[in-house]
Chains A and B, each alone.
Chain A
Amino acid sequence: MEPLSLAFRERAARALHDPVLATAMQRLERGWQAARARAAADLPEFEALRDAAVAIKDHVLANLDLYLEEFERRFTAAGGVIHWARDAAEARAIILDICRRAKARTVTKSKSMVAEEIGLNAYLEAQGLRVIETDLGEYIIQLAGDVPSHLVGPAVHMTRERIAELFAKAHGGPPKQDSAALVAEARQVLRQRYLEADVGITGANFLIAETGSIVTVTNEGNAELTQGLPKVHIALTGIEKIVPTVAEAFVFLRLLARSATGQEFSAYTTFLTGPKREDERDGPQEMHLVLLDNGRSRMLGGPFREMLRCIRCGACMNHCPVYLAAGGHAYGWVYVGPMGSVLTPHFVGIDKSWPLPNASTFCGRCEEVCPVRIPLPKLMRLWREEAHKRGLAPPAARVGLTLWAFFARRPALYRLATRLAMAALGALGRRRGRFSRLPFASGWTVSREFPAPQGPTFTAQWRAARGAKG
């Protein structure tokens, strides 16, 4: 997927005037945001679990090479085949090769953000394979030729009416009116696809080194049918998804659904260890795991290592005022919201994504709700600094910032300048007491008036008051 993140401003501006999106974002705010707060309050140990999760991830990341080797040994012993992929192209080629060897025509897929990251669907389709998304949200997006707008609810921006139209067009018959009928229709259609599929592709929420297992989490049960019916299962995930033991996986599982949708536990959490055993009557004959680096290892050495703790719950976007106003599509690439603003520059380059780390009010709510306490505002600030160093922002912003910095570093000059400027503004606006237009401040005055300053500046008043006291 070609990143469109440079156009964040324009895309966000358009999104602000989209009433359908506004309704969808309200649903997130009133639904998932409120549900997460309830779920966290209902579990007194929630904060302690967050601390434990941070410690586990930090330990794994500090020993990632060793854990990957341990995981590989056990995964392989259980009969799985592991494939290491340095980048997106390598991962796509590996998956295509497995599909070709299985003589696959139809491939079912359960939701995987890593698959979005490497643009897997478009690639496999261009090679003549029929790819069917089975997560209902992803299926809707696929029918619409759209891209996900949220980590957990990829079709969160869609209305029921639009989904009904898409289904009617794809499946025939008149558009259904209620969600139950639409879900039943999708169930029936996708049932056939599961049975036709030669290969099933899933993601993996966790990799467990102790047992060599992969863990999938869904509410629909689509991962189990995706990997359980075809003869070949391919799991695709990032190298950072390792946890040491099953006991430690439960720390994350207690946090994941609560942080994402406010559920206490998702409907289906599945631990898979190897392909079908000799005496078993169901299960895939082959189990493959594609372990993707794609720049993740580069993040290990510096301050961005903390980002590798991310468990993709989406809490940061559910609580982000910018995401909730602009929606996911404004971000212009696969990962959206605050976590997307930190990750996207790593994957596509800061030169193609510098507006994203700027799309934040730094209110800090993302960090407050992040189950693994990633300092998202700090990491966005680091990207801002990098973008500034490389001169990526438009000249006006850079000159403005440089000018401000010049004064800000010279407090006496700063005070003098603000005193003069405020006095001048006060004199100019004395008659009306407000301005309806100001140079360089149209962002403010376009929708409201700017009050004319009255009296001395805050610093001057503060000094005067303290002076009086002392």
Chain B
Amino acid sequence: MSEARRAILARIRAQLARPPSAEEAARHDVAARLARTAPVLIPARAQLEGEARIALFCEKARTLGCAIERLPDLGALSGAVLAALRRHNLPLELVRAADPLLDAAALEAEPLLSVRIGVPEESDAVGLTVALAGVAETGTIMLASSRARPTLLAFLPETSLVVLPCAWIKGSYEEAWAMLRALPGWPPRSVNLVTGPSRTGDIPPSIELGAHGPKRLILFLIDRIG
């Protein structure tokens, strides 16, 4: 290992001056700490169940500028997507994740909608992907990268469409993370906690949306999947 690494670690140890007798206890302590995945403190606000939890999620996300549409099942998705694109005068084309949920939604069967699967390009105006969880506490969605779900789908296009099954909405970040941990391939390369559309306050006096990431974030909550 590098000389700089050795020097920095030596400086740290010299400053900490941990006695040799305490070394083993410290290592044990650190190992125990790293093995402990239990939440430290979950605010009471996040400890909700069922509809109340979904309601808090929607309230928080709407306050931040998200549009939310609640759909009974995946069969209703293509119609809702089409209507949303029309409402915002957007081209009726999008690039989407290869996620099985979106396969099941049969968007390609909608004749007016042009759908491509893959990574978005600069010219793509609309991206559609699937969130792995929602967090009611702050109206946050949790995205995770994979072969099927390129990260850029929710960052490059100006309009970001995200599908989220209602059952995947949790109260806190910690519960959402626990869901993710249970999936194969954990930890994914990139996990994005997205809370509202991209925003900036750098040019006074107002907060503007769409600084670099999406200007528009439309969430489709699905009541029943599969």
Which residues of A come within 8 Å of B, CB atoms? Answer: 24, 27, 43-45, 48-49, 52, 56, 59, 62-70, 78, 83-86, 90, 134-137, 140, 153, 155, 158-160, 163, 179-180, 182-184, 186-187, 190-191, 195, 209-211, 213, 219-222, 224-225, 228-229, 239, 244-248, 250-251, 253-254, 261, 264-277, 279-283, 291, 293, 297-298, 300-301
Contact = CB atoms under 8 A, between A and B. Distances in A.
A142 to B, nearest CB: 12
A59 B33 contact: yes
B182 interface: no
25 contacts: A27-B205, A56-B40, A62-B16, A64-B16, A66-B27, A66-B30, A86-B4, A136-B211, A209-B34, A219-B200, A219-B201, A225-B213, A239-B12, A245-B37, A247-B39, A247-B40, A250-B173, A265-B193, A267-B64, A270-B191, A273-B189, A277-B147, A280-B146, A281-B147, A293-B8
Given A135-B202, A247-B37, 4 more contacts: A27-B204, A136-B211, A268-B193, A276-B189
Contacts of B146: 280
A224 B11 CA distance: 34
A66 B210 CA distance: 41
Contacts of B213: 220-222, 224-225, 267-268
Nearest to B185: A277
Q: For chain B, give the interface size range.
A: 35 or more
B150 interface: yes
A244 B35 CA distance: 9
A220 B198 CA distance: 5
Nearest to A299: B15
A460 to B, nearest CB: 51
B11 A297 contact: yes
Contacts of B191: 270-271
B201 A261 contact: yes
B210 to A, nearest CB: 6
B17 A274 contact: no
Interface string B1-40: 0101101110111111100000000110110011011111
Contact of B9 (A65, A253, A265): A65
A228 B16 contact: no
B199 A220 contact: yes
Nearest to B177: A246
Contact of B155 (A24, A136, A224): A224
Can you list the 8 inter-chain pairs with the closest CB atoms, starting with the nearest? A221-B213, A301-B15, A220-B211, A300-B15, A136-B202, A137-B202, A84-B5, A297-B11
B108 interface: no
B171 interface: no
Given A179-B203, A221-B214, A275-B189, A52 B156 contact: no
A268 B147 contact: no
Contacts of A59: 33
B189 A160 contact: no
B200 A211 contact: no
B21 to A, nearest CB: 15
B192 A268 contact: yes
B195 A265 contact: yes
B174 A179 contact: no
A66 B34 CA distance: 11
B41 A251 contact: yes
